[in-house]
Structure 1
């Protein structure tokens, strides 16, 4: 009687192991793992550089002296003038300038004036400014303040 030859043993001797075939088929080889690790490290390095640049940028921005202005009230005096009252908080003993404006119903600027604020030992001060207008104004407000 003939001895039976196993088909399985004949094919497995010449082929790669099954796990290696599956790894190659689905891209889980040693080269792809190395590439993935390098890619992740590179992305991590880019993230770290961006984070460090952001921290430096925001840290330097906070060092600047700041000035804040807030409208408190306005009074329409007549067709060609408005009174604007506002508060300014700024570093002590620093001069500043503020632009005050008057707007009509269609939000067109009908009055504008830049005023200079003298240095003071007070952090917050209140000011009232009368603006001459070209038309009847609907409101008066502070546009912007800056340190000079």
Structure 2
């Protein structure tokens, strides 16, 4: 047992003399570890482990997993393209939904309807809009299968009051079972 210790010290002195900075107790030398395997299978030329071995290890890992300078450049380019696309989509959304697209406080409520005959229905609606704003509304009549059987666009002129009650007569192709506002907009 004491016979192996002087040879280990000689080995350590030799390593330090060759400029090797890694000492055996700095390594994780358990069975099967690369460091232990490298020590037992060192090339006959006696090259010391150093920077070139680490770089070769990185290179072989890069080769194994398909990493290269080209793939890194492509990844950076892809990230820049995605960032620019997101910025463009955001800018378009801001322009589309910007302050110029106001609703003028437009709000509608269906109050009710009256079926007058097989070919006519009256739709009662409450419309609220900023004073001085004209509005157009599409009023529709539906049959029992929810098919549109009548349609009419009504223009409400600008007035000084905010709330307006309107009744719109809609002609139908068959008997309607309901009538309501489809949509309103500021022209």
Q: Map residues 64-75 of structure 1 onto 2, 5 A cutoff.
A: 64-66=101-103, 67-75=106-114
1:108 aligns with 2:183: no
Q: Map residues 49-88 of structure 1 onto 2, 5 A cutoff.
A: 49-62=84-97, 63-66=100-103, 67-88=106-127
Q: Map residues 13-52 of structure 1 onto 2, 5 A cutoff.
A: 13=47, 17-27=52-62, 32=68, 35-36=71-72, 38-52=73-87
1:125–1:47 Cα change, 3 Å: farther
For the aligned residues, what is the CA RMSD?
Answer: 3.2
TM-superposed CA distance for 1:27, in Å, is 0.4
Please state which structure has a larger fraction of its residues in strand: 1
1:118 aligns with 2:157: yes
Unaligned runs of 5+ in 2: 1-40
1:9–1:113 Cα change, 3 Å: closer
- In 2: Cα distance, 1:121 partner to 1:51 partner: 44
1:8–1:99 Cα change, 3 Å: closer
Deviates more, 1:111-120 or 1:82-91: 82-91
- In 2: Cα distance, 1:40 partner to 1:18 partner: 27
- In 2: Cα distance, 1:61 partner to 1:124 partner: 28
- In 1: Cα distance, 2:181 partner to 2:173 partner: 18
Q: Which residue of 1 aligns with 2:18?
A: none
Q: Provide Cα deviations, 1:90-110, integer angstroms capped at 9, x if missing partner.
A: 444222222211111122322
1:8 aligns with 2:45: no
- In 1: Cα distance, 2:174 partner to 2:55 partner: 86
| Contact 1:65 1:91 survives alignment (8 Å) | no
Return the TM-score normalized by structure 1. Answer: 0.70
Return the TM-score normalized by structure 2. Answer: 0.58
1:75–1:58 Cα change, 3 Å: same
